Amino acid sequence: MKRTEIVEILKSPKLNQEVLVKGWVRSFRANRFIVLHDGSCFGTLQIVVDFEKFPEELLKKITFHSCIAVKGKLVESQGAGQAVEVLAEEIEILGENNPEEYVLQPKHMTMEYLREKAHFRMRTQTFSAVFRVRHGIAFATHKYFNDNGFYYIHTPIITGSDAEGAGEMFKVTTLDVGNPPRTEDGSINWKEDFFEKSTNLTVSGQLQGEIAALALGKIYTFGPTFRAEKSFTPRHLAEFWMIEPEMAFYDIHDNMDLAEDYVKYLIKFALENYSDELEFLDNRIKQAEKNMKQEQRRPMGLIEMLRFVIENDFERITYTEAVDILLRSKPYKKGKFQFPVEWGRDLQAEHERYLVEKHFKKPVIVRDYPKAIKAFYMRENDGSEPGRETVAAMDILFPYIGEVIGGSQREERYDKLLERVKAQGIPEEELWWYLDLRKFGGCPHSGFGLGFERMVQFITGMGNIRDVIPFPRAAGSAEF
């Protein structure tokens, strides 16, 4: 007999027909009621057992997260909490589970503990909900860009360029790191390496994405990126996924319009297609905040906040306006900010959260940042005040997680770009191809990057970014 997935049974139940279901036991009450889930959806199926019909030895093996197959009749449920149930006629144990040795238990377990047991944590309701939503947001990303005429481009994971200029990159080499070959001046002889040059894991596919955009018009990338940054905050990972659209003929305002429309689409898609998961996660947050002081609680529930984001226009301000707001704020006047507020300094997470959560009380797009604190490829704004030069850069700031998108209009003027490359000490020979894009048929163009895990974190309400990626990679952590 062919197995039927629980999702199909719940969607279109065929009453009084025999079914075969397989899954993991979530609970077994009074030797009579099994709650079974099979991963096909967030929902579960109740199995009713007449314990007198089954051997005691078999029933003892039906434990928390043991795997079973059940054949029986699907009927309308006599109890509350479910519409249908299966009257068990045959039960087979597919995988036993000794509860004395099993690392998961049917009780509250901390996120820290579950992170250490990442090979089992997807079996919990919290993580099964999170990773279903993650899948949905990934699917929605491809659907959004495809439906809007973008082409999906795979950019290299191994690269010889540092798109961000930060230098926090993982080296890729086949050389003996303990005794690498040397040149006459004592430096490492990269000519003897596999690629015959120094290479790294990518921090961004943006620069290569621009090549594609200046040929295909509108493209996007969706791939892994890497930062060798020893950060232990709940907002950073060493390996994460980035979505990076690049668009020919878009200015900074077109860029902001697209970014806002895209993130609202993702949130709307999650609300419409993963309501069970989001309701569970919403209730989880409310339970966790029950014993907190009022000022420590979220001002809105998870679903309420997601609806609020898609129903309101994002506030748009310049960096200069943001600094002015911060300088006039109560936290600044009372010395509550940990980091200084001054024109020319980058905004810190505490400043971003004040703008979003306290001042505007909704997502904010900040644009026109100081040229000195931004990457070489960002377009310098015409008519900038001398000494206060700005670039056409923009960040989208969300509540709780801060920056979720960073982007800019790219510098399309060859002379200006070359000037910036030289000023930042980047060897021209490393970026000859990037400069060529401006020399031969260049055009105004823009793009942005969305940290996928940050977006999943926002939509699911999870407090730590390590809990929205199946196997987190961070400093000191490369298990599983």
The per-residue pLDDT for 165 is 56
Judged by DSSP in three states, 74 sits in strand
The per-residue pLDDT for 83 is 94
Residue entry with tokens 């449920």: 77
Judged by DSSP in three states, 71 sits in strand
* Those residues with Cβ within 8 angstroms of residue 375's Cβ, 6 or more apart along the chain or in another chain: 163, 164, 165, 408
Residue entry with tokens 């059940």: 70
pLDDT band at 233 (very low <50, low <70, confident <90, very high): confident
The per-residue pLDDT for 166 is 55
The token pair at 36 is 């079974």
CA separation for the pair 456, 467 (Å, rounded): 10
Q: Which range, of 160-164, 205-209, 373-377, averages the lowest pLDDT?
A: 160-164
Nearest alpha-carbon partner for 281 in 266, 295, 298: 298
**What are the distances in angstroms from CA 356 to CA 38, 343, 365?**
40, 19, 9
Residue 385: is its pLDDT beyond 90? Answer: no
CA separation for the pair 256, 37 (Å, rounded): 42
pLDDT band at 141 (very low <50, low <70, confident <90, very high): very high
The per-residue pLDDT for 182 is 96
Phi, psi of 396 (to 5 degrees): -100, 125
> Quick one: average pLDDT of 125-144?
97
First to last CA, the chain: 36
* Those residues with Cβ within 8 angstroms of residue 361's Cβ, 6 or more apart along the chain or in another chain: 299
Q: Write out pLDDT tens, residues 430-468.
A: 899 999 999 999 999 999 999 999 999 999 999 999 999
Q: What domains are there in the chain, each with its CATH number? A: 6-102 (2.40.50.140), 123-168+203-467 (3.30.930.10)
> Quick one: average pLDDT of 250-258?
98
Nearest alpha-carbon partner for 72 in 137, 129, 14: 14
The per-residue pLDDT for 450 is 97
Report the interhelical angle of 275-288 vs 302-311 (nearest 10°).
120
Q: Write out pLDDT tens, residues 299-328.
A: 889 999 999 999 999 999 999 999 999 999
The per-residue pLDDT for 295 is 77
Residue 232: is its pLDDT beyond 80? Answer: no
Phi, psi of 282 (to 5 degrees): -60, -50
Residue 160: is its pLDDT beyond 90? Answer: no
> Quick one: average pLDDT of 363-388?
94
Residue 150: is its pLDDT beyond 80? Answer: yes
Residue 229: is its pLDDT beyond 90? Answer: no
- In DSSP terms, 76 is beta-bridged to 84
Phi, psi of 418 (to 5 degrees): -60, -40
- The alpha carbons of the chain give a radius of gyration, in whole angstroms, of 27
* Burial environment of residue 228 by CB neighbours within 10 A (0 to 12, 13 to 18, 19 or more): middle
* Those residues with Cβ within 8 angstroms of residue 172's Cβ, 6 or more apart along the chain or in another chain: 158, 195, 199, 200, 201
Judged by DSSP in three states, 263 sits in helix
Q: Is the Cα torsion angle 320, 323, 327, 329 positive or negative in sign?
A: positive
Residue bearing the bigger pLDDT, 121 or 81 = 121
CA separation for the pair 379, 301 (Å, rounded): 39
Residue 335: is its pLDDT beyond 90? Answer: yes
Nearest alpha-carbon partner for 121 in 475, 454, 394, 472: 472
Nearest alpha-carbon partner for 310 in 359, 257, 266, 376: 266
CA angle 90, 91, 94 (to 5 degrees): 140
What's the maximum distance between 2 C-alpha atoms anywhere in the chain? 87
Q: How many CA atoms lie within 13 A of 276 on its CB side?
A: 10
> Quick one: average pLDDT of 353-381?
95
**What are the distances in angstroms from CA 171 to CA 54, 182, 225?**
60, 17, 13
Q: Write out pLDDT tens, residues 19-77.
A: 999 999 999 999 999 999 999 999 999 999 999 999 999 999 999 999 999 999 999 99
Looking at every residue in the chain, the average pLDDT score rounds to: 94
Please state, for a pLDDT cut of 90, what percent of the chain lies above it.
86
Cβ contact 83:13 at 8 Å: yes
> Quick one: average pLDDT of 291-306?
87
